Structure 1
Amino acid sequence: MESLRVFAINDIIHRNDNTHQQNVSLSPSTQPSFTVLLENHRNKTLSIPSDDCQLSLRESDQFFCEYDVDWERRKKLYHLQHGRNRVSDARFLFFQNNWEPNFSCEFERRLGNIGDGGKWVCDVHHIQSKPTCLIYSFGSNGDFSFENAIKSVLPKCEIHTFDMGVYHCPPNVCTFHQAKLGDGLDGTTKSLEMIINQLNHTQREIDILKVDIEGAEFSLFFELFKK
């Protein structure tokens, strides 16, 4: 598997609201920089030179550009909640009481149905100006609201949907594959690496990987952590 990145960074962030439209672009400089949009009581924008956010760039695969002090604060909050998430509890209460979010992005967006079927996607605007992108969606059960929403905001993306059942993608939205995600060892499942090889995507990045397969996600975790 060549690479797996959930999101990419663009040089321009487009901001639209009910009062005005503003393009925020990189300031001219001999040093590369990333533009970060900060929304607060003053609605200001701040351009952070890449030299000032090397830590976050390095540790997020070039996705986030935050001042080192903010990135360290984000990591500290993550570790604080991560420790709480590991507290043992009654089995039927464990996930309800303990597995709360420990990381978030500034511009999350819900794509697809409210409730089952739709998903929260982090900073989807980063992908919009890419000439092409690749999306894998595991788990469908005939609900293509996520794929329809993705296609509406990312029309250049190539979307592949996978499910154990037999379904048909909406025209010009996605390509459907009947497949069961797993370790690929028993002949009834396919690993992510097997699927990437079969689709000849070994030299491409997966920009969004959506997996909702009723608990079978655990087999994928082992594969991802080995890479």
Structure 2
Amino acid sequence: MAIRLMDSKSENTNKKYFDIFRIWKQFCSSHDCCALPANSVHVALYLNYLLDRHLSFSAISSVVYAIKWVHEVNGLSDPTTSSFVQNMLESSKRTARKPDMRISDEIMKCVLKNISNPYIYDYTTDFYLLPPVSDLCRMTVPDLELLYQRYLSTVQTVCKTQRRFGKITDGEWDVCVEPKYLPKYKCLVYSFGIANDFPFADDIARFYNCEVHSFDPSMGKKGYVRIKDQSYFHDTGLSDITRLNPDGNMKRMQTFLDIRTELNHLKRMPNVVKMDIEAWEWNVLPEMFAAGQFPKQLIIEFHLWSQKYTTQRDMWIQRLAVLRNVYDAGYRIFWMNRNHICRYKSHFTKQPTLACHEISLIRNGPNIMMSSSG
């Protein structure tokens, strides 16, 4: 029966659960408890320990599933069904973020381990390059928060000619209009996240004669042609998964590549991609890059979403890992706008802190960090 239970999960899922279970065994060996079979009170205490270390609901639930799975495979009673464990799981759920950020297996495993050799970041630098995940996992939560704020407030490259498109009061976005990044003919622009606000799309269509496609599944409107042969609205959202036939309150969502395929744009990479998608960017960007999708220019509002999860280590590490992924893909920040309306009170500094960063990036632009160091 154990073999059949193993076969019911993918090889990667089995490996993930057993890796997480090994960390639970290590905890038990140093805290005088039995990992298998486990006592439900000890499991609840372990979850409390993880909550004290600022892990998210996603990480906590993975631990519960791993312990449950290993007990089932070995024909043992499941200790995670007890009220003690379920109450701890519910407690972690109350601080769950929205939307659900995908936490990589690498990060999941490293945040469950103790920090035996802390990584000290050198903040005396002018350019806040991001270390690899292995080092991020060794940083404290206050340091992760500080590095995130410093990184998104640092210009990394130069665009000699840039222009703001959109409404002055709100909805303006800085675009690099150098011909390399935005040609004045046959330019293609995708704008995700509209909220009935089209000035950005209208401006860039009018002044640069671009073909512009605007996307938003939350406006209650069907897709339509706004300007013949030039400007279009689609009632579709950008996601890391494609869901074409939603039910109930679910929206129609597609990946970036699937959107390009549906619009017959596979031979035309958008020159500019603007995203204001309320924290979905953290899931979308890794999926885009994994699928080989690299627009010349990205204009993104990065969201922290809620103060409730700004104390969670895995969430900070995952955000910084995504930003490192953006950097490794060749994108450099040429402009940032501090949205002071969108703030939260830092749990660590007790000061108002930016929760939304409007960032403009170009790919393979001049690297002022390299020229500065030389």
Query: Shorter-chain-normalised TM-score: which range?
Result: 0.5 to 0.7
Matched, 1:204 2:293: no
1:38 is matched with which residue? none
1:221 is displaced (CA, Å) by 0.9
109, 116, 126: which one aligns with 2:163: 109
189, 205, 210: which one aligns with 1:135: 189
Give the aligned residue type for 1:181: L
Q: For 1:185 and 1:91, how far apart are their aligned partners in 2?
A: 32
Q: For 2:208 and 2:177, how far apart are their aligned partners in 1?
A: 12
Paired residues, number? 147
1:120 is matched with which residue? 174
- The alpha-carbon distance between structure 1 residues 150 and 93, as it changes in their structure 2 partners (threshold 3 A), is same
1:216 is matched with which residue? 280
Q: For 1:114 and 1:103, how far apart are their aligned partners in 2?
A: 25
Q: For 2:146 and 2:128, how far apart are their aligned partners in 1?
A: 17
1:186 is displaced (CA, Å) by 5.4
Give the aligned residue type for 2:199: S
Give the aligned residue type for 2:239: G
**1:201-223 deviations in Å (ceiling 9; x for gaps):** 11112111111111111122112
Q: For 1:103 and 1:97, how far apart are their aligned partners in 2?
A: 12
Aligned partner of residue 161 in structure 1, secondary structure: strand
Contact residue 257 and residue 288 of structure 2 kept, 8 A: no
- Gap regions ≥5 residues in structure 2: 1-124, 245-251, 293-374
Contact residue 109 and residue 124 of structure 1 kept, 8 A: no
Aligned partner of residue 205 in structure 1, secondary structure: coil
Q: Percent identity?
A: 29
1:180 is matched with which residue? 237
214, 217, 228: which one aligns with 1:161: 214
Runs ≥4 residues deviating over 3 A = 90-98, 124-129, 166-173, 185-188
Matched, 1:145 2:145: no
1:143 is displaced (CA, Å) by 0.5
Q: For 1:215 and 1:163, how far apart are their aligned partners in 2?
A: 14
Q: For 2:277 and 2:233, how far apart are their aligned partners in 1?
A: 15
Q: For 2:198 and 2:148, how far apart are their aligned partners in 1?
A: 27
TM-score, reference length from structure 2: 0.35
**1:123-151 deviations in Å (ceiling 9; x for gaps):** 35553443x12111101000011011101
- Gap regions ≥5 residues in structure 1: 1-77
Q: For 1:113 and 1:217, how far apart are their aligned partners in 2?
A: 23
Matched, 1:82 2:129: yes
1:191 is displaced (CA, Å) by 0.5
Give the aligned residue type for 2:127: L
- The alpha-carbon distance between structure 1 residues 210 and 124, as it changes in their structure 2 partners (threshold 3 A), is farther
Matched, 1:194 2:258: yes
1:108 is displaced (CA, Å) by 1.9
- The alpha-carbon distance between structure 1 residues 171 and 202, as it changes in their structure 2 partners (threshold 3 A), is closer
- The alpha-carbon distance between structure 1 residues 149 and 186, as it changes in their structure 2 partners (threshold 3 A), is closer
Give the aligned residue type for 2:198: F
Aligned partner of residue 209 in structure 1, secondary structure: strand
More helix by share: 2
Give the aligned residue type for 1:179: T
1:100 is matched with which residue? 153
1:195 is displaced (CA, Å) by 0.7
Aligned partner of residue 282 in structure 2, secondary structure: helix
**1:162-181 deviations in Å (ceiling 9; x for gaps):** 00223567545620000121
1:103 is displaced (CA, Å) by 2.1
TM-score, reference length from structure 1: 0.54
1:115 is displaced (CA, Å) by 5.2
Higher RCO, Cα 8 Å, sep 6+: 1
Q: For 1:205 and 1:108, how far apart are their aligned partners in 2?
A: 20
Q: For 2:236 and 2:167, how far apart are their aligned partners in 1?
A: 23
More strand by share: 1
